[in-house]
A and B are shown apart, each in its own frame.
Chain A
């Protein structure tokens, strides 16, 4: 069985023509919808970035879950649970609990104090140009890591489902995915992107729901029986699947890594720029709250599904076959779909996974391009004195194309990495570079420009530095079975930081830097602006009126 899978290169029973047809159908239908909804759009920045704030809470909540439930959640977590059992489950819990930070501390206040980007919130009462430049830098950095994770997933999926094994063929398909994504963003702006995310969220959650009920039905709706079968299929190490520590329990260092990962997951969400931007697509703080509530229910439900799917894949497909499949752990969910519903279900799930990558990448692209055009171009380079209002959107569109090309190139390079893990790195950057500054500027009167710059650049710099010198990039032992190291670079070792995830160091450090920078600086924030931000963040003055026209 294992050898036939390897020989074929794709999943046995997979029908590439059928997979491409279903995915093509999704692209055609969503593109049609994108064109349809963008008829009414104007060329204004507000329309391109936030659909004019015209979505309702429930609509935005579904779109948020579409933006958030990336390929990492679906393929990555299901794979991590199938192979590492309980340790994979932590991702789900961290990704969900994190939403409470967004709900209680960030969503509503952010909606009331900004317009398009995180830079808006910081610039409210601090020196515009430096904080906008800093906010845009960290937004672009987080988006880059996140994009890399998604595109790496696309590569693995291509290998798995379209039976394309040579590097060139995979690169062509990644390029096509990137091109479709750019089309969504250029034609539809935030309005079109949001609808793609809504459709995708419904398909993904429904697809995962059907598979979950199917798996449970086969085991007489007894989850304990699914677990028992996963233990059996796991062979000698099967029992360890149920208990904590299979992946991270080996040494004190790996245990610390697990804590670090847990911290990055729970604090990262509320600092993810593409999630923050979604709060601006609704008209009021109350709608922002409703968005998060919808998102929490949908995302929570979905993670319960992935728990069953992960153990289900472990039980019905078996860890050996998953490991041997192209795409490794990421192929657990598609392989399970094939076990359950044959070629057709595999085709549908494959198309849903592609759609997932497409929608998340589109969301990231529009966020990164908004941040560059609005913060860097319009406010830093042009000092907020653009004469032609269409110029900013034009720049945003050009940026979107550039980011799309970078994403394609990154996807080709990062092909084959575990995507849940890459996303965890993006979370570490978001939690370190963005979250401290956002919380300080919303809740701490004295917080000033110096503090913001120290926290953003310090957090971002530390995180990136620690990742570069971590075992993720170089120096992991060579696996005798595959002859390759699990690190990104082969054959070199310049790592000195022992942990895979830097969160446990970089997040507290960034909070500390924000505090020290503020206290040491003589910079006193404008008292009137501070009062204005405080009143507006809690009451929505200005925002609620501005949508009434």
Chain B
């Protein structure tokens, strides 16, 4: 077997059959329907921010609190949204992904032993 295979004994399983099973399809659907839209969301928000900083400098220079202007506030909001998405994903993965993926893993590896 090739050196890429983390466990050489695994070459005998019918992967294509496992892949079409409902549990696995559900796992993949859950993962993708979370990570794709959320990636679109945070990249969009980031690009919007960079575009504002580039082409709307007067808007970003509006002072809000003392010398702290909109640009700085929105920049710090990027930090907040990053932390929030991180926490959101961890919660989602713990509840919706991990139980299903360990169930599938046990089924596959149980059959093999």
Contacts and interface: CB of A to CB of B under 8 A. Distances in A.
A128 B4 contact: yes
Contact of A97 (B27, B46, B71): B46
Given A104-B39, A227-B66, A93 B79 contact: yes
A535 to B, nearest CB: 5
Interface residues of A, number: 68
Main secondary structure of the interface of A (DSSP, over half): helix
Interface string A360-395: 000000000000001000110000100000000000
Contact of B42 (A97, A123, A243): A97
A105 B31 CA distance: 10
Contacts of B28: 534, 538
A314 to B, nearest CB: 12
A55 interface: no
A545 B72 CA distance: 48
Interface string B96-113: 001001101100110000
Contacts of A303: 79
Interface string A299-335: 0100110000000000000000000000000000000
Contacts of B67: 224-225, 227-228, 231, 242
A93 B83 CA distance: 12
A258 B53 CA distance: 9
A309 to B, nearest CB: 15
Interface stretch (A151-159, A167-175, A493-501, A525-533): A525-533
B6 interface: yes
A214 interface: no
Contacts of B65: 224
A303 B79 CA distance: 9
Given A228-B67, A384-B3, A531-B16, A538 B31 contact: yes
Interface string B71-94: 110011011001101100110010
Interface in A451-496: none
- Among A244, A248, A379, A538, which residue has the most Cβ atoms of chain B within 10 A? A244
Contacts of B75: 89, 92-93
A13 B15 CA distance: 67
A255 B15 contact: no
B61 A289 contact: no
B57 to A, nearest CB: 4
B104 A244 contact: no
A245 interface: yes
Nearest to B13: A532
9 contacts: A86-B72, A266-B43, A296-B83, A297-B83, A531-B15, A540-B101, A541-B10, A541-B104, A541-B105
Given A86-B53, A105-B39, A374-B3, 11 more contacts: A92-B75, A93-B78, A101-B39, A103-B86, A242-B72, A292-B86, A296-B86, A531-B19, A535-B24, A539-B27, A541-B10
The 8 closest A-B pairs by CB, nearest first: A224-B66, A227-B67, A542-B7, A531-B15, A532-B15, A262-B50, A243-B61, A244-B53
B39 A96 contact: no
B77 to A, nearest CB: 10
A440 interface: no
B69 to A, nearest CB: 6
Nearest to B24: A535
A345 B101 CA distance: 50
Given A527-B16, A545-B109, A296 B57 contact: no
A67 interface: no
A517 B7 CA distance: 31
A248 to B, nearest CB: 7
A539 B93 CA distance: 12
B54 interface: yes
B35 A255 contact: no
A317 B10 CA distance: 62
A114 B66 CA distance: 51
